[in-house]
Amino acid sequence: MSYQHAQDNWFAAIIIGFIALAVLVNILRAQLGAQLYIRRIPGLDAIDEAIGRSTELGRPVTMIPGLTDFGVVAVQALTIFKYITKQIARFATPMRLLSGNPTVFAVAQEAIADAYNEAGRPDLYDPDNVRFLSDRQFAFASGVAGLIQRERVAANFMFGEFFAESLIFAETGNMVGAIQIAGTISFTQVPFFVAACDYTIIGDEFYATSAYLSREPVLLGSLVGQDIAKLLFALTTLGGVIAASIAGTDAPIIKLLGQPGGWEAFWKSVLQGGGQ
């Protein structure tokens, strides 16, 4: 059950094309000046509060993209960290970014330097504050746990993809009384963040975060497109289960909707049906 190419089922190309169109059209609308709305995401309002507390206490802020491999998720996490860094640059609050993936580390160096530049404080940027600890899961965890306790961080931001080590970060952060905000696409780690952090950004709230923080038209437009895509998924689900109830779960129309090889099965049955 996997796709090597779009031809395995052209339905994939159609649905990706539709989503791309929905996203791009709405980005264009937003750029042309349409007023777009985004609902409240409580955890994100707390970012400023957490930064404020760090500044007051003079203790550092940690940002942890975890062991996220370099890719779309990592870039989104770094975009969020870049926003946070711009905020803390105004108050000269100390920061540490701890990465468990060397490529993410390299890109983070660049992004954080940029953030300080854009905030007008390039003098505050110190490459030693963006650190690569280890790409080994629990060596990384031990380093993060040690650093959080030693420096008694006041705010801890965890964004990206996390695995079993998530609770080690969150509990040590909780131990030193840090305000913690976590956002992850890894569903299996969400319960631990919910239990140990002050705020948790769940699922694709993670992708909505940068739109929420920056209110950039491109991102808000994209968000409208994403909601349309979700509506499409919901309608396909509803239509599909009704079709499956009437025609059976093995019906070609069900195969067409997402199963590799379903395209051919569907058209073959249509052509044969026409011949009868």
Selected binder of other proteins within 57, 79, 121, 269 (CB under 8 A): 79
Q: Does 207 bind other proteins (CB under 8 A)?
A: yes
Q: How far apart are CA 168 and CA 133, in angstroms?
A: 15
Q: Which stretch binds other proteins (CB under 8 A): 53-61, 74-82, 85-93, 267-275?
A: 74-82
Residue 167 binds other proteins (CB under 8 A): yes
Q: How far is it, in rounded angstroms, from Cα 10 to Cα 268? A: 14
**Nearest in space to 133 (alpha carbons), one of 171, 176, 104:** 104
Position among 25, 49, 121, 171 found at the interface with other proteins (CB under 8 A):
171
| Per-residue binder mask for other proteins (CB under 8 A), 52-71, x = binder | ------------------xx
Selected from 224, 263, 265, 266, the binder of other proteins by CB under 8 A is: 224
Burial (CB count <10 Å: 0-12, 13-18, 19+), residue 2: exposed
d(CA 55, CA 83): 16
Query: 183, 205 in Cβ contact below 8 A?
Result: yes
Residue 159 pairs in a beta bridge with: 183
Q: Considering beta carbons, is residue 52 or 239 the nearer one to other proteins?
A: 239
Instruction: Name the minimum Å distance from CB 12 to other proteins.
Output: 4
Structure tokens belonging to residue 234 = 């919901």
Return d(Cα 126, Cα 238) in angstroms, integer: 53
**Which of 49-57, 59-67, 86-94, 244-252 is the region at the interface with other proteins (rule: CB under 8 A)?**
244-252
Site for other proteins (CB under 8 A): which residue of 32, 39, 123, 275? 39
Query: Which residues from 107-166 bind other proteins, rule CB under 8 A?
Result: 107, 109-111, 113-114, 127-128, 130-143, 145-146, 149-150, 164-165
Q: Does 272 bind other proteins (CB under 8 A)?
A: no
Q: Based on CB atoms, which residue is closest to other proteins, 52 or 220? A: 220
Q: Which of 47, 73, 95, 98 binds other proteins (CB under 8 A)?
A: 73
What gap in Å lies between CA 17 and CA 22, rounded to an integer? 9
Residue 129: exposed, middle, or buried by beta-carbon count in 10 A (0-12, 13-18, 19+)?
Answer: middle
